[in-house]
Amino acid sequence: MSDFLPFTRPTIDDETIADVVAVLRSGWITSGPKTAELERALAAYLGGGRQLRVMTSATGGMEMALRAAGVGPGDEVIVPAMSFAASANVVVRVGARPVFIDVELRSRNATPAAFAAALSPRTRALMPVHFSGLAVDMDPLNALAGARGLRILEDAAHAIGTRYRGRLIGSFGDIVSLSFHANKNMTTIEGGALSFADPALALPLDRERFHGISKDAAGNVDVYSAGGKYNLTDVAAAVGLGQLRRLEGFNARRRTLAARYFERLAPRLDPDMLPEPGDDGHSWHMFAVLVPFARLGLSRDEFVARMKARGIGLGVHYPSIPGLTYYRQLGWDPAAFPNAARIGAETVTLPLFPAMADGDVDRVCDALLELMKR
């Protein structure tokens, strides 16, 4: 279908393609000068005197960060019940226990009060998730963590370019994980980054990123831990540098498209079916609506198929984490998190990416509202 509209599509310009070709011809295609340049560029973009490390995925970055922060067996990490499974998986992988909390229905974010209510003597870290690029209320959460001596690992996979009270997410706070997956607001094809201020994290993160290795001044190698392998390539970094140059423009276009969705849908749909608008700092990684499939007499699969037949692709972001088989087997009851459960059952993600025209939004809304007439 030549005019099929996917729910997302990256925008890669000719300058970036030329930069990738130059890297391929340079003979240095794995971690090298372009990777270092991307780290410097991200640090300059975010500001705040942060240290940056890039890696092969935000998921790998979060696991590295938890290990570097000393989170492990016997510890608990508080995680929103509505997020991608990776948010909880990395906690399990370091031997700790994810403790789920519910989210607000429209923002899909967990509140500072919800984090506070879930604290226990075993809590070691908090993991706020900036869902869809809408910032969590971080000032009271940072104050809570500071008062209790807790670490905060922000899952900012959706939030590159998001601003909270005028400050870029990643320019402040404890540890912030950013994603550059192909469907994110900027991409390195696959990849991610950690932004942090604590200099004590630099050495363990560097070792965890590449086999636990450190080198002395003469270049001799020694291994100090059973590290992983998460180093980003220069090819990927070249893509990221081109994307970062255009990020602010990409996000401005996303905000314009989101505003058009609200203009078309707000008069026709119940407010709780729409995401929270947020403010000008919202980077709009996704535009997800809730569809009452039971009232329509359609399953989500049928709804997605009917939209596809109209040339429109939808995503599903996300099932409730406690409702996933693995976490149910660990004893979690999805019904204990009613907002996350409803979002997980009713959510669909509408197309949203910078190359879309205003008319593409109208086309999506026309098809959506036609099906909703049922």
At 277, the amino acid letter reads P
Q: How far apart are CA 48 and CA 173, in angstroms?
A: 10
Q: Which is catalytic among the residues 184, 215, 229, 308?
A: 184
* Secondary structure in 3-state letters for 28-75: CCCCCHHHHHHHHHHHHHHCCCCEEEEECCHHHHHHHHHHHCCCCCCC
* 320 torsion bin: left (phi>0), alpha (psi -120 to 50), beta (else): beta
Give me the residues paired with residue 152 across strands: 126
DSSP string, 224-257: -S---B-PPPHHHHHHHHHHHHHHHHHHHHHHHH
Of the candidates 244, 180, 232, 235, the one whose C-alpha atom is nearest the C-alpha of residue 13 is 244
Q: Helix %, strand %, coil % for the chain, to 5?
A: 45, 15, 40
Nearest CA to 324 out of 300, 348, 345 is that of: 345
Active site residue 184: yes
Would you please indicate which residues are annotated as catalytic (active-site) residues?
A: 184
